[in-house]
Amino acid sequence: MSIAEFRNYIDGSFAEATATFDSIDPSTGATWATMPAASSDDVDRAVEAAHRSLRSGPWAAMTATARGKLLVRLGDLVVANADRLADLETRDTGKIIRETRAQIAYVGDYYRYYGGLADKHEGSFVPIDKADMEVTIRPEPIGVVAAVVPWNSQLFLSAVKLGPALAAGCTVVLKASEDGPAPLLAFAELVHEAGFPAGTVNILAGFGHDCGHRLTSHPLVARVAFTGGPATARQIVRNTADNLAYTTLELGGKSPVVVFADADLDSAANAVVAGIFAATGQSCVAGSRLLVERSVKDEFLARLKHKAEAIRIGDPRDPATEMGPLATSRQREWIEKVVAASLAAGGRLVTGGERPAGHAGGLYYAPTIIDANDNTGLPCVREELFGPVLSVIAFDAEAEALALANDTPFGLASGVFTTNLAKAHRMARGIHAGVVWINTYRAVSPLVPFGGYGQSGLGREGGLDAIRDYTRSKSVWIRISDDPFPDPFVMR
């Protein structure tokens, strides 16, 4: 089998790598591609190119309308190349093809959405309290943006950063994860084809200790947009101490899904499956804590067990497959460690908890359900596993359900299942999370902001206001009086 080769995209050209690393197909464990490992020098070249594009040249002179047209064209190209991008993402990360194809289709919508907003982000006229002055507020691009994304849903997580950043007039250096960067390096070809001026968008693959550290601490970087884990986020915050870059962090979660006895239980069970077993549980919004009313717990767990055991595990490139492998061996080892500790501490295994048979070489792990037996201190209840493991806790009353839902330092997403509208509103008001889904789960849209509370991060992505996070306001004062300037020693 031939080994595919990928290159970094710097200053409008595909650069030969001075160092490379192998990328593994998680479904087989075999090397399938060679990836570039960006060095600190590569980062410097990319950031300097982005800075030049920001300050001079075609991008700096481009109108907001023209920027928007480029973004719309990029969205169209993403959709036109969805099959290839989906195949690369599936090959490099193990995410099933039916999901990568569907997700990439709406990634195009994000670029089109922000393309449409590019010339609608307006400044303002201030009715100032001084008769001889007129003041306007101009939104201007914040500067060079360092965008850092993980391997999971990377095209989507890039779009929610690149879209508003480019619409605002910023330039970007995007760092792909070393775990599965192929689709983003291929996406660079579409950026080039769309016609973005050289240096406006730069895309690198590399490791955190070298590429990532230099990028987020670079003195020419004005803004860092990061998606990933809390430990890396803390390091990034430390990295920005010198350049004082404005930082947004979209981190992980331990999201609760609350199922009341009055819910449509079969519908709720499907949503729980979607929340924890779709994408093999490798999602920042994974609904990994099931809180179910005690009176229906046994019935609901029986439904879930049946659905989990019926999930079709297999080759992620097969459209019939419903759950593929984990992306990395270290992730599977972490999950196995936490599951073993949770069972040893009193958790009851409902189903799963093992590597499924028939997938030698692949990084597979069976859909797993653990009844925590009301022990909220179990490791599987507290830790983000980033895998297909669901922890189950029973509750007896609404107030208890709300307290359990908020019993976590995270606060990214949540779900509530009930047919009682008043109860749904009370829970939505009381849950400390950036997203509350009622009788649904894992729904997203470019029109809706997304982000977390607490250890799930800072800032929001998506929606109308995202462009504002990529701008600084400039106040322009114009004195309109013909009279001489008054007393110079008195502040006006």
189 catalytic per annotation:
no
Confidence grade of residue 416 (pLDDT, cut at 50, 70, 90):
very high
Same domain assignment for residues 156 and 231: yes
Same domain assignment for residues 219 and 277: no
CATH of the domain at 364: 3.40.309.10
Residues of the domain holding 471: 4-251+452-476
The answer to whether 56 and 48 have CB atoms below 8 angstroms apart is no
Same domain assignment for residues 275 and 343: yes
**Number of separate domains in the chain:** 2
Distance from C-alpha of 44 to C-alpha of 220, rounded to nearest angstrom: 9
Same domain assignment for residues 394 and 464: no
Catalytic-role residue among 48, 250, 293, 461: 250
Domain assignment present for 470: yes
- pLDDT value at position 317? 96
Same domain assignment for residues 137 and 16: yes
Average pLDDT (215-237) is 96
The residue written with tokens 């007039």 in the block is 169
Tens digits of per-residue pLDDT, 435-467? Answer: 999 999 999 999 999 999 999 999 999 999 899
Using a 10 angstrom Cβ sphere, with 0-12 exposed, 13-18 middle and 19 or more buried, the burial of residue 272 is buried
% of the chain surpassing 90 pLDDT = 95
Is residue 1 predicted with pLDDT exceeding 70? Answer: no
Tens digits of per-residue pLDDT, 313-367? Answer: 999 999 999 999 999 999 999 999 999 999 999 999 999 999 999 998 999 999 9
- pLDDT value at position 411? 97
Same domain assignment for residues 397 and 323: yes
CB proximity list for 312: less than 8 A, separation 6 or greater: 320, 321, 322, 323
Distance from C-alpha of 169 to C-alpha of 70, rounded to nearest angstrom: 12
Tens digits of per-residue pLDDT, 9-57? Answer: 999 999 988 899 999 999 999 999 999 999 999 999 999 999 999 999 8
The answer to whether 247 and 458 have CB atoms below 8 angstroms apart is yes
Distance from C-alpha of 72 to C-alpha of 111, rounded to nearest angstrom: 6
Domain assignment present for 488: no
Domain assignment present for 481: no
Same domain assignment for residues 69 and 155: yes
Confidence grade of residue 492 (pLDDT, cut at 50, 70, 90):
confident
Residue 306's CB is within 10 A of a number of other CB atoms, namely: 11
Per-residue tokens: 186: 């291929």
Same domain assignment for residues 214 and 270: no
Same domain assignment for residues 298 and 366: yes
Per-residue tokens: 415: 């779900």
Same domain assignment for residues 312 and 388: yes
Confidence grade of residue 240 (pLDDT, cut at 50, 70, 90):
very high
Same domain assignment for residues 219 and 284: no
